[in-house]
Amino acid sequence: MNFALDAIWWRLSNPHIRALASVLVAPALWRTGRELSVRELLGERGFRYLLDLDDNKSFRLPENVGNPLLGKYAENLLAFWLANAPHSRLLGRNVQLFNLKNQLVGELDFVAQLNGRIYHIELACKYFGAYDGQPENMVGLNSQDNLLNKIDKLNQQLNYSQNPAGQQALANLGVNAAEVQCVSVVRGMGFSHSGSLKNVRYAENAWTGVLLNHLQQIDFKNKKFYRLPKNQFLAPARVSCSLVVDWDKIGEQSGLIAEVVQRPDGYFHEIQRFMLI
């Protein structure tokens, strides 16, 4: 799937707003059955609000939003949105849950009101690869991180707000647990040798890329590439010409690599992504 051809990635230029947009509108990598819809997350005026933020050249996200850790960065972006979007109110973030012995037993990522409805939101942004693309074989750049474990963990987290500790934590926020809808925001990409994912666990429109081994002999003549830092995984790359290189300059270190082409705005835009292992 050539995810980078969507018009929004041609339109947005601020790298933080592009990353924010990906958290809001990118497809899920896998389905939980409790997805928070893009329509609900964006609201009626959310897309216009994104464009206004991008067009305001003096706008700067709060300094504490940026983070070298991908997960924290994605969380900070979503927290900014929930606190500032026209239709949203952030009620709690990283809400700690304690049992009757006052032991910490978990957290709720976000409690927020969207369009008048109250949600417990769990966020996950993951990048997994396997030669055959099958869920049981999918691992991250850290091989200890795997898809099936993350699916199980997220399913557990989605139930936190309905257990006694979660109900008490919500009550402390002035929220009735019975009125709360538990939802997920799952983002990321899946990589396989073929570049496609064929399994019922994956979302039909999931973003996909190609898994490569650094020992493979690859002929990428006359193409340009950009090695993505971890905090730039979220959105399709848009980089200046000074940052792009030929494939033979990429090196053997594992990571995510974007193939890029120059567009009329003078920047190089991502058209395909690789996971190099």
DSSP-derived secondary structure for 147-207 = HHHHHHHHHHHHTGGGSHHHHHHHHHTT--GGGEEEEEEEEEEEEESSS---STTB-TT--
Distance CA 257, CA 40 (A): 32
Entry pTM = 0.94
Question: Of the candidates 183, 178, 81, 201, which has an alpha carbon nearest to the alpha carbon of residue 124?
Answer: 183
Q: Which helix (H) or strand (E) holds 38?
A: helix 38-42
Q: Kindly state whether residue 253 falls inside one of the protein's structural domains.
A: no
Residues 7-27 pLDDT 10s: 889 899 999 999 999 999 999
Q: Kindly state whether residue 270 falls inside one of the protein's structural domains.
A: no
Q: Kindly state whether residue 45 falls inside one of the protein's structural domains.
A: yes
Say if CB 274 and CB 127 are below 8 A apart: no
Residues 147-184 pLDDT 10s: 999 999 999 999 999 999 999 999 999 999 999 999 99
pLDDT at 35: 97
Beta strands in the chain (DSSP E): 88-98, 104-114, 117-129, 180-192, 208-212, 224-228, 238-239, 255-262, 268-276
pLDDT at 63: 84
What does the CA dihedral 94, 185, 66, 268 come to, rounded to 10 degrees?
Answer: 170
Domain total in the chain: 1
pLDDT at 1: 45
Structural domain of 113: 3-208
Distances (CA, A) of 130 to 127, 141, 217: 11, 11, 19
Q: Kindly state whether residue 29 falls inside one of the protein's structural domains.
A: yes
Q: Kindly state whether residue 229 falls inside one of the protein's structural domains.
A: no
Q: Kindly state whether residue 158 falls inside one of the protein's structural domains.
A: yes
Q: Kindly state whether residue 259 falls inside one of the protein's structural domains.
A: no
Task: Tell me the mean pLDDT per 10 residues along the chain, length 277.
Answer: 70 95 96 96 94 90 90 97 97 96 95 97 98 97 95 97 95 96 98 95 95 82 95 96 95 94 95 95
140: tokens are 């991250």
End-to-end CA distance of the chain: 21
Distance CA 231, CA 244 (A): 17
Question: Of the candidates 230, 236, 237, which has an alpha carbon nearest to the alpha carbon of residue 255?
Answer: 230
Question: Of the candidates 123, 140, 237, which has an alpha carbon nearest to the alpha carbon of residue 187?
Answer: 123
pLDDT at 5: 57
Q: Kindly state whether residue 53 falls inside one of the protein's structural domains.
A: yes
